[in-house]
Amino acid sequence: LERSHAEAIERLSALERSHAEAIERLSALERSHAEAIERLSALEHSHAEAIERLSALERSHADALKRLAALEERVADLIEITRSLASTMEGVLKRLDRVEQRLAKLSGFYYEVHYRERAPAYFGRLMKRARGRLPHDLDDLVENRLSEEQIGDFYRADVIVQGRWRSDDTETYLVMEVSETIDANDVVRALRRTDLLRKAGLRAVPAVAGDAFIEEAQSLAQQQAVLLVTDGKVENVDLVERRWLS
C-alpha cells in the first residue's frame, strides 16, 4: 500500500508539473493570439486606408481623364480654327499680292506720266523745247531701220524726251526707264533701248529716273554714262556728253 501510495503521489506530482506546463503554454498561446489579433486589426485598418486611398486615386484619375478628353476636344477645335485661319490668310495674302501688283503697275504708270508731263522742268536746262513722248510717237523714225523684235523692245521704254541739246543745239532723244527705286536692271534696259534708237540713226542718250536708287544702280550709271535723275537732280551730265554727244 505504501508503495502504491508513493507511486500515486509521484504520478500526481508529474501531473501537476504537466498541468503547470500546459497552463504556461496556454498563457503563451493566449498572449501570441492577442498579438496576432492586434496585428490583424492594424493590418485591417491599414488595408482600409489603402482601399480609401485607391478609391480616391481612381476618382482623381477618372477626373483627370475627363479633363484630358475636354482638353483634347479644345485642342482639336483650335487645330480646326488654325487651319481655317491659315486658309483665310492664304486667300488674304493672294489678294494682297494682287493688290501690290496693281499698285506697282499704277506706281509705274504714275512715274511714267509724271516724267513725261514734266520733262521741261527736269531737263529744260539741258534741252531746248524738251517734251515727253511715247515710244510709239517715233514710229516713222524706227520703222524699216530695226527688226520687229527690236522695235518691240524699244516700244517698252518708259519715257522718251525729245529736244535740242543746249550745248550744241542738236536734236537729241533721252531714252528713260523710270521706277520708284532705280536698280541696275533699269540702267541696263535704258542702255539697251538707247542703243536701238542710235542704231536707227537717232542721237540718243540713256537715262533713269525715280525717287531713290540702290548703290549698284548708281555705280553702273556712272560707269556707263547714264543720266541719273532723283529728287529733281540730274547727275552724270558731263559723263553723258563725253560718251554720247561728243
- Quote the pLDDT of residue 93: 77
**175 close to 207: Cβ distance less than 8 angstroms:** yes
pLDDT confidence of residue 7: 87
**What average pLDDT score do residues 166-191 get?**
95
Q: How far apart are CA 75 and CA 82, in angstroms?
A: 10
Phi, psi of 188 (to 5 degrees): -65, -45
Confirm if 226 and 187 have CB atoms less than 8 A apart: yes
Confidence of residue 219 (pLDDT cuts 50, 70, 90): very high
Q: What is the pLDDT of residues 17-40, one digit of tens each?
A: 889 888 889 888 888 898 888 898
What percent of the chain is predicted at pLDDT more than 90?
54
> What is the reported pLDDT for 108?
64
120-159 confidence digits (pLDDT tens): 999 999 999 999 999 999 999 998 899 999 999 999 999 9
Q: Would the pLDDT of 222 be above 90?
A: yes
What is the residue-averaged pLDDT of the chain? 90
Q: For residue 222, report the phi and psi dihedrals to the nearest 5 degrees.
A: -70, -45
Average pLDDT, stretch 90-97? Answer: 79
Instruction: Tell me the whole-structure pTM to 2 decimals.
Output: 0.62
What single DSSP character describes residue 180? S
